[in-house]
A and B are shown apart, each in its own frame.
Chain A
Amino acid sequence: MSIQNKYLIGIFITALALSFGFNSAYAQKTVLTPDQASSIIANCTPIKNRLDQLHVNDALLRVNRGQLYETVYSKLILQFNKRAQSNNYDISMLQMTTEKFSAQLENFRKDYRAYEQQLDETIKQGCSNGAQSFVDNIDTAREYRNKVYEDIKQLNSTLDEYSTNFMNIKSIILGKQ
């Protein structure tokens, strides 16, 4: 085997080892001791009941938050932009913030869907596949729920940004009059 081939094989093995290393670091989950596993199996029903309760409360939260953001977007923001544009004001900043808000709203819908499906699956499976699988499912649902929380924070921040841009255009409009 030539030196060049050995060199290539070396690079390949290193890359493979690194990729396994990264994968295991990202896929790090709660690893249960036998005592913890048996405790979870014993508490499976109350844990499932709490998850059920969370599932219902989060569905209500999703409906209320979703309606609020959709309404602000379609009944206020889009309408104001159209009106300002038809009055020949430069709304490029408002437009940019509006597009950002629209994309974030879509992320919120998508991320909530993924979270809800994961939580639903977790509740349905319960401890039937063992405590470790149950905990892994909950860990994934937790990760997805955090994403939804991040989406909400981004939406609120973009609303603030829109409000700031609105104040700028307001001073221009009122300054002209």
Chain B
Amino acid sequence: MQEPFADSRTFWGKRRYLLLMIISLSIAFSLVIISMSLYIRSGTIQLDLSRPGYQRVSNQTDPDNISIGSYSSTGTLDEESIKTFEEVLNTQIKKAKSIDAFGGDPLDPNELNFYQ
């Protein structure tokens, strides 16, 4: 005969809080793995200057690059609006060409002083 106050719950039924914690931690852990792999595989990591070792240059990013206002995609095209666009476009082109980005050959053996 069954005892009147016998606990009839299953093994996991008795450990519901433990189960909740295990499931929560597993979900959190999986999400961290997914987000980290996206962060690395998408190349975002390479644009993240807050990583250790990059902080000393993180304040040297050019805020003007992202602060230029968006040219309106609606409205008529008159002399004034053409002139505005032309000015901003020319400024940006000039800026793009102002430095010889990735030019030079810093990985040349002589530049790296291989055989000193």
Interface residues of A (CB under 8 A from B): 30, 36, 39-40, 43, 46-47, 50-52, 54, 56-69, 71-72, 74-76, 78-80, 82-84, 86-87, 89, 109, 112-113, 116, 135, 138-139, 141-142, 145, 148-149, 152, 155-156, 159-160, 162-163, 166, 170, 173-174, 177
Interface segment among B1-9, B21-29, B50-58: the answer is B50-58
B73:A79 contact, CB within 8 angstroms: yes
B65, B101, B115: which contacts A40 (Cβ < 8 A)? B115
B69, B74, B115: which contacts A75 (Cβ < 8 A)? B69
B47:A43 contact, CB within 8 angstroms: no
Min CB distance, B48 to chain A, in Å? 9
Interface residues of B (CB under 8 A from A): 43, 46-47, 49, 53-54, 56-57, 60-62, 65-66, 68-79, 81-82, 85-86, 88-90, 92-93, 95-97, 101-103, 105-109, 112-116
A64:B61 contact, CB within 8 angstroms: yes
A36:B115 contact, CB within 8 angstroms: yes
Residues on B with beta carbons closer than 8 Å to the beta carbon of A82: 73-74
A60:B114 contact, CB within 8 angstroms: no
B57, B69, B70, B90: which contacts A60 (Cβ < 8 A)? B57
B75:A83 contact, CB within 8 angstroms: yes
Residues on A with beta carbons closer than 8 Å to the beta carbon of B96: 65, 68-69, 72, 155-156, 159
- 14 A–B pairs (Cβ distance < 8 Å), ordered by A: A68-B95, A71-B66, A72-B89, A76-B88, A76-B89, A76-B92, A80-B73, A83-B71, A83-B75, A84-B77, A86-B74, A135-B109, A149-B102, A149-B103
A174:B113 contact, CB within 8 angstroms: no
B112:A64 contact, CB within 8 angstroms: no
Which B residue's beta carbon lies closest to that of A173? B77
- In the complex the two chains form, what is the Cα distance from A46 to B114 in whole Å? 9
Residues on A with beta carbons closer than 8 Å to the beta carbon of B116: 39, 43
A152:B107 contact, CB within 8 angstroms: no
Residues on A with beta carbons closer than 8 Å to the beta carbon of B86: 166, 170
Closest 6 CB pairs of A and B: A142-B107, A67-B65, A82-B73, A149-B102, A79-B71, A75-B70
